[in-house]
Amino acid sequence: MYDQIKQFIEQEYGITITNCVDAPRQFVATTYILTISSGEKYFCKIVDKPLFIPHLIESLPILKQLHQQGFDRINYPIATKKGNLYLRQNNLLIVLFNYINALQNYDYDLFTFGQLIASLHQTTSQIDLVMPKEDFHYQYEGIFENQLNQLLTNQSNDQILISLQTLLKKYQTELKHDYDNFMKLSRKFQQSDLKMVITHGDPGGNTLVKTPTDLYLIDGDDILLSPQERDIWFFADHPDFLKGYQSIFPNYQINQELYHYFAYKRYFQDLVEYFAEISGRGTKEHRQKNLQGLEHNCFEGWLRPAIRRFDPFAH
């Protein structure tokens, strides 16, 4: 951590940092584990990506109130001396969270995890803040279409962009098919009146595990009032998860079209974010790493395969 940022945090929070350890680098943020003079630890998140900062700022008061209402299975922001939940320094957003001494992994009991997500959704009536709400508009619609067209027609000598173009041409027809379906569902749900609950947005990949049944949610960077399927779609094929969820919401049944919508939404949001990192001014290593992440996470690893399970597209 830069000394200037460290001093800024100490000044605004009224603490003395005695140790700073790098935490695993996230897509959205650079993270640290801070130890202060009292021995207490905090989790520090520093975000420099403009696409993500507004959503995180909106989520912080909700995370704070969830904690105040007794929902202790999600991390929450620590207030500065002035009562602010974040700091701004130039183009950076800086947030301190409580520290949870557990590992981030997927080694959790799915029944317990289903109960955890249902418990989060169940808190909706306890939160009296104005919350951002799912409106079923794809916020990157124009951006994605322009990005994709430019990347497919790019004539640069940049080898990373050439590799990206080759990858996109491989899936070009399939991408158009999926995007058309996504837009149809988007327009349909814009006209619908659906039940909304507090949703995390990406709980499966952001869980700290003390034991397989002692779980905590982290990185609530994009909390929305949304249909339950926003948090459930990735677990739609896991009976134990659904049993855990239905132990709290016994009448719940997955809306298949909402499941498809949120799978598409995650796919096309991730594509835009990867495109920006690959085409940006980062180092060659950073851009190459994001190209590999795009290929693995979006196309080969889990997002595209998840979509193909409910839509076995064939040319």
DSSP string, the chain: --HHHHHHHHHHHT--EEEEEEPPPPSSEEEEEEEETTS-EEEEEEE--TTTHHHHHHHHHHHHHHHHTT--SB--BPP-TTS-S-EEETTEEEEEEE---SEESS-S-HHHHHHHHHHHHHGGGG--S---B-----TTHHHHHHHHHHHHH-----HHHHHHHHHHHHTHHHHHHHHHHHHHHHHHHHT-----EEE-S--TTSEEEEETTEEEE---TT-EEE-THHHHGGGTT-HHHHHHHHTTSTT----HHHHHHHHHHHHHHHHHHHHHHHHSSS-HHHHHHHHHHIIIIIIIISHHHHHHHH-----
Report pTM. 0.92
Q: Are 104 and 207 in contact (CB under 8 A)?
A: yes
Segments of the chain with pLDDT less than 50: none
| Chain position carrying tokens 């298949």 | 256
Sheet with 87-89, side-by-side order of all strands: 17-22, 29-36, 41-47, 92-98, 87-89
Nearest to 132 by CA among 193, 244, 55: 55
What six digits make up the tokens of 128?
Answer: 């009296």
What six digits make up the tokens of 149?
Answer: 């067209």
**149 vs 38: CA distance, rounded Å:** 54
**272 vs 49: CA distance, rounded Å:** 13
| Chain position carrying tokens 């049993």 | 243
Q: Is 211 exposed, middle or buried (0-12, 13-18, 19+ CB in 10 A)?
A: exposed
Nearest to 115 by CA among 232, 9, 37: 232
pLDDT of 315: 62
**276 vs 139: CA distance, rounded Å:** 15
pLDDT of 294: 97
Residue-range domains of the chain with CATH: 3-133+196-246 (3.30.200.20), 141-191+253-310 (1.20.58.840)
Partners of 291 in the β-ladder: none
Give me the amino acid identity at 243. Answer: K
Q: Are 224 and 203 in contact (CB under 8 A)?
A: no
pLDDT of 49: 82
Backbone angles phi, psi at 217, to 5 degrees: -90, 140
